[in-house]
Amino acid sequence: MNWWVHNAWEHGGAVELTSWIFWVLLSITLHELAHGWAALWEGDSTPRDLNRLTANPLVQMGQTSLIVFALIGFAWGMMPVRPDRFRHGRLGEAIVAFAGPMMNLVLAFISLTLLGIILSAGNADTAESMQSIRTFLFLGGFLNLVLFALNLLPIPPLDGSRILAAASLDIRRFYMHPQAQIMGFALFIAIFFFGAASFVIGAAQELALWWVSLVAQVLAGAA
């Protein structure tokens, strides 16, 4: 098995490799910051008290996550919060949990919409010179759609499990069981080994292409 850095370089060269590194670090960092900002809005000062409201990926992702990123090209982050301080209780938990995936959706919308705008104004003379920008924006949109979908899976410790736990006390009690955490980790690994991750990736690519094409067509028709 080739190292992901080698594969990225062979497939898309320096542009694809640097774009992927940039978007992974930015997307996960802003995802975690969104959790922190939502927690502050809910009345929990924990992210600020622990100096976690920073754009430093080392703080938001941690050394272990960054090492794993260097090895396999993907990573995770963590934002400490105190749900018992949320002013809206269980609703606040759902809001804080959803803030992270929502940030990824916003990033995807911005990058893919910009790409659609660029394509609507492009022509054959500028196609080659704009390829790097198109690759950069598409990777950003695609990655953030994948992060949005994966984080909403109802598997501990992903955000989807926190949203469900906020909606149902029975589900909350189930997730609090020690074995639920182990089962969640095993299920998450199984998702990658049995093809579900490929489905999410494929769907994200199709959705990204559809949105870019729609934006380009609408703007070209309006011109």
- Alpha-carbon distance of 20 to 203, in angstroms, equals 19
Structure tokens at 35: 């959790």
- Alpha-carbon distance of 14 to 135, in angstroms, equals 11
Contacts of 108 (CB under 8 A, 6+ apart): 140, 141, 142, 144, 145, 148, 208
Cα–Cα–Cα angle for 90, 144, 201, rounded to 5 degrees: 110
Q: Which residues are catalytic?
A: 32
